[in-house]
Amino acid sequence: MDIAQRQELYRQALKKDSGATSKTSFRDAFGVSNSAKIIGRGLFCFNLNLENLAADVDQLVVHCLLRFPPEDEIYFSIFIKSDMPQLRARLAEMKAVGTSKPWKRKGSEDEDGEDSAQAEAAQPAEMDAVATAALSDGDHGQGDDAADGAGSAAAPPVSPDGLDYAATNNNVKGYLAQDGQLYLRNKSFFDEMPEDLSKISRPVKVEKIVFGIYPPAAAARRSLLAREFVGYLGSLIGRERIHEVRTVWPETNAVSPEMARMPTTLALADIEKSVSDLGGFYPNGELIRYHAGLNFLAHKHFVILSGLSGTGKTQLALLYARAIHGKEKRDADDPFLFVCPVRPEWTDPTGLTGYYDVLTDRYVVPPFLEAVLVATAFRDSPVFVILDEMNLARVEYYFSDVLSAIETGEALPLHSNGVPLEGTTGSSIPASLPVPPNLFITCTINIDETTNPVSDKVLDRAVLIEMNDVDVDGYITKIEAEDPDLAPACAHCRPHLVAMQGVMKQHRLGFGYRLIREVVTYHHFAVDSLAQGANDVLDQLMVQKLLVKLRGSEAQRSLLNDLGKQLAAMPRSKALLDQLGADLDEYGAFQASR
């Protein structure tokens, strides 16, 4: 689809707007030379020919376009209705002042490229009556002595704001300023809007702005610049007057064949290879168990991943989803993949299912609800949503509605309005919505003093997969294969990390793959770039990354003793362990980070 076709589809969609009438005038400002641009303290919106705006037009709608790399196009339309009299007065005012200018030398050109011959041809024989009325209305700074007395010739119209104007309105520039109003001039440009907007004559009120973004994304996700621009428009005229028009380009919403594959249609070996190619490392059967847990039921896909911090729980869910969707890079954009970080203060479902915001008159759509909406719209595609750190809040407080909807098949309650509400993503939000069978829910949990226990009724409805087994030696081999420059650091860290893992595992403790990679990378940087001793750096790392998490009571005395034997040759580590042992003797407990 080329740009001309996209523009035509947008025009047709806007003609169906509920505010459009048979007397609405639609104008385009899509051209490269007259398209929108962000300027200081405002937005240049258009450069239009409004010379022949019909007298019976009750509303003006101007279609504008702004492009953002790499491929986003924001189409937005400015609606002017209640202030049409002000718009007409402003056009007449500018034309009247431009008409009164002295004639220019033949062959000279003004700033908009109109030569004097064209301007002369456009000069009316006398000032239009509307223009005269516009200039006389409020005088705009002209004193009572504008005329020198009875019988004297009328003074030529004076610019009401000191700006230069042309004799025709065939190059009218529109600027949206920080006060939310539209400012017009028919000659020259503003490089930035003036600080004092009150000096510019007759600003025009904008009724609303309707926008659409190309290419449309299944999850209503945009590039950062595009999202920020939509927010910027809202900051200018008020978010309640910004509305998104959807399904403008319906054929571009087609889902690629890879995105429409259900996990059960793929061979497990292919999934494992894709996850490995994306950087995943799961040697203990975690991927197989995860695949089985997600897919053994046709109507429910709900898995909880539990284990040590840094063992790759979240990454397993992310890489699996991208492998199913045929993504070849781990940072590739995936419109059917959502991550919803759980916050400790959640005490109700609104963090997942959203809420109605009375200030913006819209329904706030969080990532989980967006995933439900997308899965509902694309029934043939698997949609993945990850609740990260699920038990930072009490699960029953915020997740009970979702649990019930998953188990019973009943609709998920969203709001009590009789009609759908407009969502912050542009979607229409019904009062309730069933959880679709193509939604795959994965939750991650850690078990420590900062988290809440997960109740039996939650565990009973999910498949719980523990990820506590860490293959230290195998993962260091993988790091070395990926980056040969890290080989010396891998060789130096490997025996110590393997030994530390063995000691800590005996006491039901341990560390994850994230810590292993960071230890090796830190060691490489400190030795190669900072010229520090390899043994000294390793001693630093034992204190900074492993021992710093130690805490316990008399039951952990044997742990301190075992670690002390293992790290006896490292002075910093030995000193810390000796101090923890002394704390245990004196207080009956110890904690490294306090």
Residues 284 and 355 in one domain: yes
Banded pLDDT at 593 (limits 50, 70, 90): confident
The more confident residue out of 9 and 248 is 9
Residues 178 and 320 in one domain: no
- Residue with structure tokens 């609800």? 369
Q: What is the mean pLDDT of residues 531-547?
A: 96
Nearest 5°: phi and psi at 340? -120, 95
Mean pLDDT of the chain: 88
For residue 100, what pLDDT is reported?
78
When computed from its CA atoms, the radius of gyration of the chain, rounded to whole angstroms, is 34
Residues 174 and 90 in one domain: yes
Cα 561 off chain centre by: 50
Q: Which of 282, 278, 287 is nearest to 330 (CA)?
A: 278
pLDDT tens-place string over residues 12-64? 999 998 889 999 999 999 988 888 999 999 999 999 999 999 999 999 999 99
DSSP, res 212:
E
Residues 427 and 279 in one domain: yes
Give how many domains the chain has, as a whole number: 3
pLDDT higher than 80, residue 133: no
Q: Is the CB of residue 97 less than 8 Å from the CB of residue 160? A: yes
pLDDT higher than 90, residue 554: yes
For residue 155, what pLDDT is reported?
62
For residue 154, what pLDDT is reported?
57
pLDDT higher than 80, residue 375: yes
pTM to 2 decimal places: 0.69
pLDDT higher than 50, residue 245: yes
Banded pLDDT at 184 (limits 50, 70, 90): very high
Residues 219 and 287 in one domain: no
Q: Taking each helix axis from N to C terminus, what angle separates 557-566 and 571-587, rounded to the nearest 10 degrees?
A: 160
Listed residues 466, 482, 506: the one ending a domain: 466
The more confident residue out of 71 and 434 is 434
3-state secondary structure labels for all residues of 367-435: HHHHHHHHHHHCCCCCEEEEEECHHHCCHHHHHHHHHHHHHHCCEEECCCCCCCEEECCCCEECCEEEC
Residues 261 and 178 in one domain: no
Q: Can you give the CATH number for the domain in which 310 is found?
A: 3.40.50.300
User: d(Cα 77, Cα 19) in Å, to the nearest integer?
Assistant: 12
| Structure tokens that stand for 118 in this block | 């064209």
| Structure tokens that stand for 444 in this block | 């991650």
Q: What is the mean pLDDT of residues 189-214?
A: 94
For residue 125, what pLDDT is reported?
38
Lowest mean pLDDT among 76-85, 127-136, 212-221, 306-315: 127-136
pLDDT higher than 90, residue 78: yes
443 lies in which domain range? 257-466
Query: What is the number of alpha carbons within 13 Å of residue 273 lying toward its C-beta?
Result: 6
pLDDT higher than 50, residue 139: no
Residues 361 and 308 in one domain: yes
Q: What is the mean pLDDT of residues 482-510?
A: 95
pLDDT tens-place string over residues 437-483? 999 999 999 887 778 999 999 999 999 999 999 999 999 999 999 99
For residue 147, what pLDDT is reported?
40
Residues 22 and 117 in one domain: yes
Q: What is the mean pLDDT of residues 348-376?
A: 93
Residues 340 and 383 in one domain: yes
User: d(Cα 172, Cα 374) in Å, to the nearest integer?
Assistant: 42
For residue 115, what pLDDT is reported?
40
Q: Which of 442, 230, 252 is nearest to 337 (CA)?
A: 442
Lowest mean pLDDT among 18-32, 215-229, 354-368, 462-476: 215-229
Residues 86 and 213 in one domain: yes
For residue 527, what pLDDT is reported?
97
For residue 114, what pLDDT is reported?
43
Angle at 578 between CA 577 and CA 581, to 5 degrees: 85
pLDDT tens-place string over residues 253-308? 457 889 999 999 999 999 999 999 999 999 999 999 999 999 999 999 999 999 98
Listed residues 407, 434, 466: the one ending a domain: 466
3-state SS class at 450: coil
For residue 228, what pLDDT is reported?
75
Listed residues 251, 267, 302: the one ending a domain: 251
Banded pLDDT at 99 (limits 50, 70, 90): confident
Residues 371 and 452 in one domain: yes
- Residue with structure tokens 């009572």? 144
Residues 298 and 229 in one domain: no
Return all residues near 157 (Cβ < 8 A) that are at least 6 apart. Answer: 96, 97, 99, 100, 127, 131, 135
